[in-house]
Amino acid sequence: MRTQLYIDGQWLDGTGTLEVIDPSDGSVIANVATSSDEQNLAALEAADRVAADWAKTAPRYRAEILRKAFEIMTSEADYIAELISKENGKALPDAKGEVAYAAEFFRWFSEETVRTPGDFRLSPSGDKRILVTHQPIGVSLLITPWNFPAGMATRKIGPAVAAGCTMILKPAGETPLTALHIVDIMERAGLPKGVLNVILPAQTGPAISKLMHDSRLKNLSFTGSTAVGKILLREAADQVIRCSLELGGNAPFVVLDDANIEEAVKGLMLAKMRNGGAACTAANRIYVARSIGDKFIAEFAKAMAALTMGTGRESGITLGASVSMKERNKIAELVDGATSRGAKVHLGAKTPDGAGAFYPATIIEVKKDDEILANEVFGPVAPVVLFDTDEEALALANDTEYGLISYVYSEDLKRGIRFAEAMESGMVAINRGMISDPAAPFGGVKQSGLGREGGFDGIHEFLQTKYIGVEI
């Protein structure tokens, strides 16, 4: 298990350590090195020093490093899944799903590396040529959250390598072990020294702020909360640093009156319960047509009650722990608040005793203006609201400052597409509970972020467009 920093191709101790906790029992898994300001600057210095040479490497060469990383990661999938489950708490089936998803970013971007398109056109006046090419932006800071410790790292490292950018990775303090293992894989896959560096500052805010004000830094790719995203966007303004921000979500899951209930329940189980609800794509507000409300809630409650909660990596467990007691307590507080305001409990809603950061699968029926609907719960809690008309459902779905993903279930595709087009989100799932796909552009509108990761767009977060005008 790697527990050191990785700077300029060397594994190094830091100036302190940080405890990584197993949230299912509160025990310490490892002490990971934390970086000093000097070490953070050394990482930036290394990334800057090798940037020009790295940018000039052949796309085929970079593609093969990513392909090798995909193969190593796939061959170590079981080990990585256990590591994720241990430091994050999620159930092993979720962790295995994450590893496959994460590795796929390496494969997808290994294929994209050699296919970056350019453009060559005749000017409308006919006497000039318009050449458009794309060049690596340069040193990129990658900041990742704890909910997908592997997926969020590969989703940034993959396109950065593909584009020819050098990197400084700052993983979440709760889950650095998986990120360090991925960096170890990149090293074994042949990534040259200095191209990827990992720091873990003891005081994140001030340390990152220093990097954001160093002229050698050119690009930021951040996944995390909207609150921190806004701080970083303000900091980026000082040097006009390019930003790709994947922020919070508050996904509506709309079940129209003609939906296939069985399919919609299956979809909701994925949309709500994958990762124990700790996903920015998690269905956070469930809107169900009143005419099918009772039947839907009964079926959904059956599926939720069939989950087995416990230590994520043990066999048969389908609902693991939250990442920390702090996160678990936040979930409990939100549910307690809703029940104190009169929410009807259909399942769960009781905080367990003990040292593990557990919260049970919970269904509550709430009024359409209940406060819980304005919060990203990030746990196994499904607040359900009944609605009467499609117009009402659409207005409720869009009544949020977030806009990452929306879900809609209807057997009438026309109706589904009408909804999808009117939903204010960067992604819409029609009759599907999970649409994240390395081959598709992931990202939000409104306060859910800027930019897209994955798909054809993903590499462009690490490239800048250059127009070359030619007189012939």
Q: Where does this chain bind ligand ADP (CB under 6 A)?
A: 143-146, 170, 172-173, 204-205, 208, 224-225, 228, 231-232
CB of 174 to ligand ADP, least distance (A): 7
Contact criterion met (CB below 8 Å) for 9 and 190: no
CB of 128 to ligand ADP, least distance (A): 44
CB of 225 to ligand ADP, least distance (A): 3
Contact criterion met (CB below 8 Å) for 185 and 98: no
Q: Which C-beta is closer to ligand ADP: that of 252 or that of 449?
A: 449
CB of 240 to ligand ADP, least distance (A): 18
The count of other CB atoms within 10 Å of the CB of residue 7 is 26
Q: Which C-beta is closer to ligand ADP: that of 172 or that of 373?
A: 172
Q: Which C-beta is closer to ligand ADP: that of 74 or that of 225?
A: 225
Closest CB to ligand ADP: residue number:
224
Q: Which C-beta is closer to ligand ADP: that of 145 or that of 164?
A: 145
The count of other CB atoms within 10 Å of the CB of residue 365 is 20
Q: Which C-beta is closer to ligand ADP: that of 204 or that of 351?
A: 204
Q: Which C-beta is closer to ligand ADP: that of 149 or that of 433?
A: 149
CB of 398 to ligand ADP, least distance (A): 24
- Which residue out of 280, 327, 453, 461 is catalytically annotated? 280
- Which residue out of 87, 174, 246, 453 is catalytically annotated? 246
CB of 364 to ligand ADP, least distance (A): 22
Q: Which C-beta is closer to ligand ADP: that of 279 or that of 292?
A: 279
What residues contact 13, with CB distance under 8 A and at least 6 apart? 4, 5, 33
Contact criterion met (CB below 8 Å) for 382 and 274: no
CB of 72 to ligand ADP, least distance (A): 24
280 flagged as catalytic: yes
Beta strand pairing call for 405-409 and 196-198: unpaired
User: Which are the catalytic amino acids?
Assistant: 246, 280
